[in-house]
Amino acid sequence: MKKLLPILLAVVGLAIGGGAGFFLRPAPEPIEEAQDGDQKLAVQEVEETAPENRTFVKINNQFVIPVVRSDSVESLVVLSISLEANDTDTEILYSHEPKFRDAFIGVLFDYAYAGGFGEDFTSSPNLNRLRVALREAAQAVLPDRVLDVLITDIVRQDT
C-alpha cells in the first residue's frame, strides 16, 4: 500500500492538472468575415504594393549558426536567405553578397546568443523579429536596393 499511494497521487494530480488546463485554455480568436467590398479593397491594396518588376536574389550557400549553452554546442541552425529587390538591382546585390553575408552572420550570432533559436524558434513572433533584424542589416548595406529579406529554409539540428 505504501508504494501504491504515491503513484495514485501522481495519477490523480496529472488528471486534475490536465482537466484544469483543458477548461482554462484561452478561447480561440473569432474569425471576422470580410464583406465583399472589404475583400475587393484588400486585393486592390496588395496589387498596388506589389509591382511586377520585383525579383528575388538567393544568397549563395546556407548560413550555419551554432547555438551554445553552458560552453558547448547544443544545436546547429541552418538557414537559407533570399533578398527581394527590383529587377534592375540583381547584379548590384550579387556584387555585394560578401557584405550581406557578413551583416547577416552578425545578426544571426547575436540572435542565437540572445536565445532566439530556443524551443519555439519557428513561432511567428520570433521569425518576424529575425526577419526585421535581417532586413535592417541588409538595408544598412544597400539602403535603397533591398526591399525585404525572406527566410526560405530554416532547420535546427540538436546534438
DSSP state of 153: E
* CA dihedral (85, 91, 96, 98) positive or negative: positive
Indicate the fold that domain 54-158 takes in CATH: Tetrahydropterin Synthase; Chain A (3.30.479)
pLDDT at 46 over 50: no
Q: What does R_g of the chain's alpha carbons equal in angstroms?
A: 23
Q: Which residue ranges make up each domain of the chain?
A: 4-49, 54-158
For residue range 129-145, what is the model confidence (pLDDT) as tens digits? 999 999 999 999 988 88
| C-alpha triplet 39, 56, 156: angle, nearest 5° | 95
Residue 152 amino acid letter: T
pLDDT at 150 over 90: yes
Band of residue 128 on the pLDDT scale cut at 50, 70, 90? very high
Q: Locate all alpha helices (DSSP H) within 24-123, ordered by sequence.
A: 36-49, 90-95, 97-113
State pLDDT tens for residues 86-96: 888 888 889 99
Give the C-alpha separation, 98 to 103, whole Å. Answer: 9
